[in-house]
Amino acid sequence: MVGKPRVAILSPFKAWGGIERKVLILCREFLAQGVQPQIILTRGGVVPYPDELPPEVEVIDLASGGKLDSVRKLTRLLREDPPAALLTAKDHAAKVAVIARRISGCPVPIFVKITNTPSQTLRRRFKRWTARLLYRQADCVIAISEGVRDDLIANFGMDPGKIRVIYNPTVTPCIPGRAAQPVDHPWFQGGGPPVIVGAGRLTGQKDFATLIEAFARLRMRQSARLVILGDGPLRDSLQQRAQAFGVAEDVDLTGYVPDPIPYFARAALFVLSSRYEGLGNVIVEALAAGAPVVATDCPSGPREILQDGRVGRLVPVGDPGALSEAMEATLGAPPADAALRDGMERFRSDRVALQYLQVMGLKTA
């Protein structure tokens, strides 16, 4: 592709998800800034958001099986048609890229994006050992928050000089239009009790069990409803927990929704109850849509986004009493709209994409 530098993005993508959404946004912004994005799929990966991915984005499916097969096929690709830079998402892709570059002898620079707190996500000893060994061989590691950066230094022996913090490209020009889209849910039609919204995979990491208990405590003091957007393996146990606390009629687990932004725009409050995050992009989305936020002070991200509690209340992880009190206080005195928008420039998609291209040496400051 003569005339445009090409950035390859390597990962075993799903059809949808948080990482996939950010890659879609980066692809759009790279195109707008004169850089050709190329998606390389590994280990049974599929095209992320196929209905939304611009047709100009080149997609290469390695059709690989395990990690060794991915290394072999990426090695061949790097020898035949190396990109100007290789950006990885997810641990599997980072390790495959570093090994394939060494075998191929291709000097393509590698940039490893770390999207979550690695000491929490890489729990098996072998995965942590290989991460310590291979991440440092990349040209640069891109951490999505200062907390992730600190974790890489403290627990993986990373050289601070090889880490750059670049927030995710979460605030896009389309958010106002998305926020205006209708919500087909009776609780958001107006006239009822305030609706609190949570969102994410129904897994232990998100700790919706604590959110439901905190909501039950709140319901003893005032009328409210709770909607949790997302699906996952803990769905049945969370429904049982709502029944056990006597609030099942006021708790709705909606399952997966294609776009949470319209829900955030109509929420009286958004709550993040996670045990850990990489950044907590959903907080940024909620703020951008105009929802007040309460979040756990978990590693990593919520404290950075909420500016040490100035933009939204922070509470200890796993403390339903503190979470309930913060929810009640925020419903009673929500911050002004201007306060919610404070600091959102850091997450503007065009600025974030430019930072990526500058780090990769494809754009000047």
* Mean predicted confidence (pLDDT) in 307-331: 97
Q: For the segment 167-213, what is each residue's pLDDT rounded down to a tens digit?
A: 999 999 999 999 999 999 999 998 899 999 999 999 999 999 999 99
Nearest to 141 by CA among 354, 132, 37, 127: 132
Segment 115-133, tens digit of pLDDT: 988 998 888 899 999 999 9
Mean pLDDT of 260-270: 97
Whole-number pLDDT of residue 1: 42
Is pLDDT at 338 greater than 50 in this prediction? yes
pLDDT digits (tens, 9 = 90+) for 8-52: 999 999 998 889 999 999 999 999 999 999 999 998 889 999 999
pLDDT confidence band for 365 (50 / 70 / 90): low
53/207 Cα distance (integer angstroms): 32
Q: Residue 113 above 70 pLDDT?
A: yes
CA angle 5, 9, 13 (to 5 degrees): 155
CATH of 175-346, one of 3.40.140.10, 3.40.50.2000, 3.10.129.10, 1.10.1740.10: 3.40.50.2000
Q: Supply the pLDDT for residue 320.
A: 98
> What would the mean pLDDT of 268-292 be, rounded to a whole number?
96
State residue 2's pLDDT score: 53
Among 1.10.1740.10, 3.10.290.10, 3.40.50.300, 3.40.50.2000, what is the CATH number of 6-169+348-359? 3.40.50.2000
If you average pLDDT over residues 292-313, what whole number do you get?
96
Name the percent of the chain lying above pLDDT 70.
Answer: 99
All CATH 3.40.50.2000 domain ranges of the chain, comma separated, are: 6-169+348-359, 175-346
Residue 6, pLDDT above cutoff 70: yes
Q: What is the 3-state secondary structure (H, E, C) of 188-251?
A: HCCCCCCEEEEECCCCHHHCHHHHHHHHHHHHCCCCCEEEEEECCCCHHHHHHHHHHCCCHHHE
pLDDT of 217 over the 70 cut: yes
Q: How confident is the model over 284-302, as a mean pLDDT?
A: 96
> What are the structure tokens assigned to 349, written together?
């998609």
Mean of pLDDT over the chain: 95
Q: What is the DSSP string of 305-336?
A: HTGGGTSSEEE-TT-HHHHHHHHHHHHHSPPP
Helix or strand or coil: residue 281? helix
Contacts of 190 (CB under 8 A, 6+ apart): none
Does position 341 have pLDDT exceeding 90, yes or no?
A: no
